Amino acid sequence: MRDMKVKAIHKAKLFAFQAHGWQQYGREPYFVHLQSVVDTTIRLGGDDIAEQVAWLHDVVEDTAVTVEDVLVQFGVVVAVAVQLLSKKEGEVYENYIASIRRNPIAKLVKIADTLSNLTQSTLQMNHKRIMKYTKQLQILTEV
């Protein structure tokens, strides 16, 4: 069972690498952001499914990958969480975050993603983004 989980995580990592290709995250390869989100997801108690979602959290929003591609490769639980994390054009922000909050896996990964974005924004001294991600973190962690 453990071996299957490790293979699934490795598959998600490779899939994300291929999908994001040469994309950048600030001055770093996009992989740096993905690894940060994965590491934080694990530190926050995420399981193997959450780790897969962490690797894949931006593939639908930022690449040519579709939710159907994720569904075929990783199954319904991963695909649903990735779909929730993929903000659609014109989607109302409050509705987007509310949907994420209702799914424990998507919520955990979004918190990890927000922490990564907040760290990057702080390093760049981007006050507008610092405020955005601080507010987003507050909304995500409200009880």
Give per-residue pLDDT as tens, 50-107.
Answer: 999 999 999 999 999 999 999 999 999 999 999 999 999 999 999 999 999 999 999 9
CB-based contacts of 81, cutoff 8 Å, min separation 6: 49, 53, 103, 105, 106, 109
CB-based contacts of 130, cutoff 8 Å, min separation 6: 118, 121, 122
User: For residue 138, what pLDDT band results from cuts at 50, 70 and 90?
Assistant: very high
Question: pTM for this structure?
Answer: 0.94
User: For residue 140, what pLDDT band results from cuts at 50, 70 and 90?
Assistant: very high
Average pLDDT over residues 104-121: 97
pLDDT at site 26: 82
φ/ψ of 29, rounded to 5, equals -60, 150
